Structure 1
């Protein structure tokens, strides 16, 4: 039975070391995005209803706004 390279099928021709480097870089990027999400979410959650109303944000939209800020979705 033949062995398949399931580690990185999208990077044909890449060395194993490069796959590891790319994976670590991706993890760092995701960690940074998550930090932005947490910071925005926590800052908006700490605001009172009047402050949120002043900037036109509903408390129900905080998670969505944090997601847009961090991930650009």
Structure 2
């Protein structure tokens, strides 16, 4: 008599929830990255004079873009 193990299994609710959290975290990181890139590119396109009017220098652009991505 042969014994055949059933290797097909359905994901438990815990595994499904873990995947859901994983995908929502990835979606959030992607959204933050898009906000960062948009902010960074828009600020980089400004002239030094326009940045000075905003009270910024070019060295501040990366930090401002990171903060915008975290807050948004």
| Bin for the TM-score computed over the shorter chain | 0.7 to 0.9
CA distance in structure 2 between the partners assigned to 1:39 and 1:58 by the alignment: 18
Task: Structure 1 unaligned segments of length 5 or more: list them.
Answer: 1-13
What displacement does 1:56 show? 0.6
Aligned residue number for residue 57 of structure 2: 58
Higher relative contact order structure (alpha carbons within 8 Å, sequence separation ≥ 6)? 2
Task: Structure 2 unaligned segments of length 5 or more: list them.
Answer: 1-12
Give 1:1-73 correspondences, 5 Å limit.
15-72=14-71
Give the alignment's Cα RMSD to 1 decimal. Answer: 1.0
Runs (4+) of structure 1 exceeding 6 A deviation are: none
Q: How many positions carry a matched residue from both structures?
A: 59
CA distance in structure 1 between the partners assigned to 2:51 and 2:15 by the alignment: 49
Per-residue deviation, residues 21-68 of structure 1 (Å, max 9, x unmatched): 110000000000000000000000000001001111100000000001
What displacement does 1:71 show? 1.5
CA distance in structure 1 between the partners assigned to 2:23 and 2:40 by the alignment: 26
TM-score norm. by structure 2 comes to 0.78
